[in-house]
Structure 1
Amino acid sequence: MGLIWFLLIGLLAGFLAGKIMKGRGFGLLGNIIVGIIGAVLGGFLFRIIGLQETSLLGSLATATVGAVVLLFLIGIISGKR
């Protein structure tokens, strides 16, 4: 069941990040991948500043922030800022 929640949070985080970054979503599978990578990146960034998620909503927020940062970096690298 944990894997299903992880994938659902990844999907939702990728979707939200795509909306926040003005339509830079990548479809269903792409959003899951962006959300999962964003969750790892967000967790790393939050640990650096001393924050830690403690709930499902915190996990979603962490993953979404990480996914937004990831999409921002992808935009810079691809030149589509």
Structure 2
Amino acid sequence: MGVIYLIVIGAAAGFLATRMMKVETGIVQTVLIGIAGALIGGLVIRMLLTVGGLLGGLIGAVLGAMLLIWLYQTYLGRK
């Protein structure tokens, strides 16, 4: 169940993050960005704020995905 949860939250977080950051990506890239963001943001948010539950995970996932997009655009992407 944890993998399915990660994919669903990752897809939602990736969608929200790519729309907030105005990045055009495909479905697979959006889900991968969201999953990576969920891993990064979820760990950071839970460690720093000890926020639990679905809402805390979604907020952390979106923030992590936005950070990942920003890092990609800053260091690897076209400007």
**TM-score normalised over the length of structure 1:** 0.83
Identity of aligned residues (%): 38
Give the superposed CA RMSD: 1.6
Judge conservation of contact 2:6–2:38 (CA < 8 Å) in 1: no
Judge conservation of contact 1:34–1:70 (CA < 8 Å) in 2: yes
Structure 2 CA distance for partners of 1:11 and 1:21, relative to 1, 3 Å = same
Moved over 2 A (4+): 43-47, 78-81
Q: Distance in 2 between matches of 1:9 and 1:25?
A: 19
Unaligned runs of 5+ in 2: none
How many residue pairs get aligned? The number is: 78
Between stretches 29-38 and 60-69, larger displacement belongs to: 29-38
**TM-score normalised over the length of structure 2:** 0.84
Q: Distance in 1 between matches of 2:53 and 2:44?
A: 17
Q: Distance in 2 between matches of 1:5 and 1:79?
A: 29
Unaligned runs of 5+ in 1: none
Q: Quick check: 1:54 aligned with 2:49? A: no
